[in-house]
Amino acid sequence: MAMDRRTFLRVSAGAAGGCLLCADATLASPGKKQQDFGSNVAMLNDLTRCVGCRACQSACKSYYDLDQYGPMEGLDTPGGLSEANHCVIKEYKEGDEQSYIKRQCMHCNHPSCVSACPVAALEKQDNGVVTYDPDACIGCRYCMVACPFNVPRFEWNSAAPKIQKCTFCEERIAAGEDPVCEDACPTDAITFGTRDELLKEAHRRIAENPDRYENEVYGETNAGGTSVIYLAGVSFDKLGLRDFGEEPLPELAEKVQHGIFKFFVAPVALFGLLGLTRASNMRCDPDDEDCIEE
């Protein structure tokens, strides 16, 4: 395995340069990052107005033709989100406290699923909607593991399975219509608008009726903020909406990943270092037992 050192170094340098170029072009800019979320489309779920009729749930199911398969427990109370239920109403009841909770994709400002997806099948669009492209998806389910709200669902019993979750009715929004669940709601518990607008409206409702509401808009800052925000009369923790702090959840992982691979410096440096180690080790004392070339 003889190769003179100059040739070796030259080849290494070339390889390093090549890597740097392609790394700079692609890995350094992993998709656009939104800074201002105020004008994103958003949805306010005012749980104090919800009467648990599940009109949103069945509107969603029939609009997206989702009832062709998927488990149902009883007539109208599926166990939870599933590949056939993108929007689910569940009841919370303990003692005198009672509330319904609408579960769906939160369309996070900093979505973990988007950060996780190895092939950019999940993407955060300019209007804030987190979309899914089955033609890119490899079905690895990292999004499901990563999602703090446990939203994405997988078609376990299909030979060509897809990830299923609330699409925020992206085509309807693009056509100037409202999401189907918002249209279906008879009590105006669901409001559709921009994020700024709805946050203002949510705070107005709390200020007007402080006894009716918990003094918090869930999703305003939680996990870096979400597009789907909640008002409730009981504490969010009891409804399964957990407190994740204000830091966006993917931040640490992305910092580490981009730190290690910034412009591909570390791997290229390692390549060079190992090459130099090899080159310098070739010149040791041949009588040393530990220094025999094969």
Partner 1 sequence: MDEHSYRKPRPHLPTKEDIAQYEDVWERFPRAPQEKKLWTPAFTTGVAIIAVGILLLLIRFIFGLGSITNLSSGFPWGLWIAFDVVVGIALASGGFVTAALVYIFNLGKYSPLVRPALVTALLGYAMAAFGVFIDVGRWWQLYNPVLPWHWQGSSALFEVALCVMSYLLVLIIEFAPTVIDKLSTNKDSKLKRFAIRIRPILEKVMILFIILGVVISTMHQSSLGSIMLLMSHRLHALWFTPWLPLLFLMSAIAVGMHVVIVESMLSAKTFGRRIEMPLLSGLAKRSIAFLGLYVIIKLMDLIWADEFTMLFTSWWGLLWWVEVLLFGMVPVFLLSFKAFRRDPRWLFWISWMVIGGLILNRFNVYLFAVQAYDGWTYFPTMWEVIVSASIVAFIFVGYKYLSNKFPVLHKEEGLAKA
The amino acid occupying position 272 is: G
Using CB under 8 A, pick the residue from 9, 140, 173, 234 that binds partner 1. Answer: 140
> Residues with Cβ < 8 Å from 191, sequence gap 6 or more?
43, 44, 46, 182, 198, 201
Question: Cα separations (Å) of 232 from 45, 46, 48, 206?
Answer: 8, 6, 6, 10
282: nearest Cα among 267, 294, 265: 294
- Check binding of 27 to partner 1 (CB under 8 A): yes
- Check binding of 98 to partner 1 (CB under 8 A): no
- Check binding of 63 to partner 1 (CB under 8 A): no
82 vs 104, which CB is nearer to partner 1? 82
Pairwise CA distance, residues 90 & 100, whole Å: 6
| String marking each residue 180-219 x if it binds partner 1 according to CB under 8 A | ----------------------------------------
- Check binding of 136 to partner 1 (CB under 8 A): yes
Interface stretch with partner 1, choices 108-116, 173-181, 208-216, 230-238 (CB under 8 A): 108-116
- Check binding of 154 to partner 1 (CB under 8 A): yes
- 3-state SS assignment for residue 229: strand
Q: CB–CB of 51/102 below 8 Å?
A: no
Interacting positions 218-257 with partner 1 (CB under 8 A): 240, 242, 244, 249-250, 252-254, 256-257
- Check binding of 4 to partner 1 (CB under 8 A): yes
- Check binding of 265 to partner 1 (CB under 8 A): no
- The residues facing 227 across adjacent strands are none
Using CB under 8 A, pick the residue from 70, 80, 193, 233 that binds partner 1. Answer: 80
- The residues facing 124 across adjacent strands are 130
DSSP for residue 164: E
The amino acid occupying position 149 is: F
Interface stretch with partner 1, choices 42-50, 136-144, 196-204, 225-233 (CB under 8 A): 136-144
Pairwise CA distance, residues 219 & 37, whole Å: 12
- Check binding of 69 to partner 1 (CB under 8 A): no
Interacting positions 30-49 with partner 1 (CB under 8 A): 30-31
CB of 189 to partner 1, least distance (A): 23
- Check binding of 293 to partner 1 (CB under 8 A): yes
CB of 208 to partner 1, least distance (A): 33
- Check binding of 2 to partner 1 (CB under 8 A): yes
Phi, psi dihedrals of residue 44, rounded to the nearest 5°? -105, 120
Vertex 163 angle, CA 53 and 30, to 5°: 120
With CB under 8 A as the rule, give the number of residues binding partner 1.
81
Q: CB–CB of 44/191 below 8 Å?
A: yes
